[in-house]
């Protein structure tokens, strides 16, 4: 990898080749080496989903990664949920896209917020996150550091009910208990249940409450000042639209002659293209079509 590209060297005279080789250190190929190594090794990504049951967590995860991660899921009845304790269930799947391998782990937290008494129901979740940090620390301090499996939770999607008037006490407590440990991305679940003005109001309210309670949610990184204007605009819009309002769908429907993932209602179709609210507005154009 430290040799100059052959094609280029051929067109140079012997003296020029000599000069050229003197100037050539080889670090220009470093990005390719890093890239090749990373692609070969693959990536680990652990995503946690939390929020009251029935808010569409499994549906969204399945639609995000185009897989069925919840094949053997057991749903509890009302009586069982009264004294339900929070469980931590891991679903792992290997995904490959254009030769890039991803070991995706979804950490589900069934039972969160479902019991009658939800005092400290986030405790098993914070304990789990801490355990993963400790395990990683132990592995890093050990001898076999090359093959560490990274099980730390990289991101937590927190589902907020669209039916309330902002955050519930349990939402505030959960996010405050976790915000120092994991990147929290708050989402407004089932956004198709609200009209655009309601969504705007709810987002505003949630943003105010996040500020008021000093919750630190995930902040998108600043984009570089030399990026082009279109990219900067996209970046601004993305930041302004947080908390994202999402729609999940596991079914493919036909809208305007195209097959899309969406929800088919008696009055029309809502397109759930990877969830962002902006995309839902595209879906709105499809409304009214039966
Ligand atoms: P979970 O318990 O949070 O994992 O919720 P599920 O994914 O099992 O979804 C519960 C119910 O809500 C199912 O009947 C889904 O079809 C429905 N659902 C899921 N996502 C959406 C959505 O974005 N909008 C609406 N209206 N319903 C949804």
E-strand stretches of 76-182: 89-97, 100-108, 155-160
**Burial label, 247 (beta-carbon count in 10 A; 0-12, 13-18, 19+):** buried
User: How far apart, in whole angstroms, are the C-alpha atoms of residue 188 and residue 55?
Assistant: 9
Determine the 3-state secondary structure of 70 from DSSP.
Answer: coil
Give the residue whose CA is nearest to atom 19 of ligand 1.
56
pLDDT exceeds cutoff 50 at 20: yes
Atom of ligand 1 nearest to the CA of 52: 3
The most confident of the ranges 63-72, 116-125, 220-229 is 220-229
pTM for the full model?
Answer: 0.79
Atom of ligand 1 nearest to the CA of 250: 16
**81 CA distance to ligand 1 middle (Å):** 18
pLDDT tens digits along 169-191: 889 988 999 999 999 999 999 88
pLDDT of residue 158: 93
Give the residue whose CA is nearest to atom 26 of ligand 1.
190
User: How far apart, in whole angstroms, are the C-alpha atoms of residue 262 and residue 270?
Assistant: 5
CB distance 105 to 92 below 8 Å: yes
pLDDT of residue 290: 28
pLDDT exceeds cutoff 90 at 52: no
User: For tokens 């509890």, what's the residue?
Assistant: 76
Closest CA to 173 of 109, 123, 117, 115: 123
pLDDT tens digits along 137-176: 999 888 887 778 888 999 999 999 999 888 998 899 889 9
CB distance 162 to 188 below 8 Å: yes
pLDDT of residue 186: 93
User: How far apart, in whole angstroms, are the C-alpha atoms of residue 173 and residue 120?
Assistant: 8
Q: Report, as an integer, the average pLDDT of 234-247.
A: 85
pLDDT of residue 15: 67
**247 CA distance to ligand 1 middle (Å):** 9
pLDDT exceeds cutoff 70 at 238: yes
**157 CA distance to ligand 1 middle (Å):** 15
Atom of ligand 1 nearest to the CA of 55: 3
Pocket test for ligand 1, best of 59, 69, 163 (most atoms within 8 A of CB): 59
**57 CA distance to ligand 1 middle (Å):** 7
Mean pLDDT taken over the chain = 79
User: How far apart, in whole angstroms, are the C-alpha atoms of residue 72 and residue 124?
Assistant: 22
Atom of ligand 1 nearest to the CA of 249: 20
Ligand 1 pocket by Cβ (under 6 Å)? 53-59, 190, 192-193, 247-248
Atom of ligand 1 nearest to the CA of 246: 23
């Amino acid at each position: 990898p430290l040799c100059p590209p052959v094609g280029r060297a051929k067109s140079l005279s012997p003296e020029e080749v000599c000069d050229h080789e003197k100037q050539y250190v080889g670090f220009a190929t470093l990005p390719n080496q890093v890239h090749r190594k990373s692609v070969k090794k693959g990536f680990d990504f652990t995503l946690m989903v939390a929020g009251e049951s029935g808010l569409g967590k499994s549906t969204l995860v399945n639609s995000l990664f185009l897989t069925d991660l919840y094949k053997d899921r057991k749903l509890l009845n009302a009586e069982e949920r009264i004294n339900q304790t929070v469980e931590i269930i891991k679903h792992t799947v290997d995904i490959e896209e254009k030769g890039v391998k991803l070991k995706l782990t979804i950490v589900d937290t069934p039972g969160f917020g479902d019991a009658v008494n939800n005092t400290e129901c986030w405790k098993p979740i914070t304990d789990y996150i801490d355990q993963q940090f400790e395990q990683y620390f132990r592995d890093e301090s050990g001898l076999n550091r090359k093959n560490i499996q990274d099980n730390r939770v990289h991101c937590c999607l927190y589902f907020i009910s669209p039916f309330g008037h902002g955050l519930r006490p349990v939402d505030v407590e959960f996010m405050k208990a976790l915000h120092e440990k994991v990147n929290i991305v708050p989402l407004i679940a089932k956004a198709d249940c609200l009209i655009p003005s309601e969504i705007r109001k709810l987002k505003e309210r949630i943003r105010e409450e996040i500020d008021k309670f000093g919750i630190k949610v995930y902040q998108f990184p600043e984009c570089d000042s030399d990026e082009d204007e279109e990219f900067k605009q996209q970046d601004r819009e993305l930041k302004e639209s947080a908390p994202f309002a999402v729609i999940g769908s596991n079914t493919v429907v036909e809208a305007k002659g195209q097959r899309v993932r969406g929800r088919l209602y008696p009055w029309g179709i809502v397109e759930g293209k990877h969830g962002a609210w902006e995309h839902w507005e595209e879906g709105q154009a499809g409304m009214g079509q039966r």
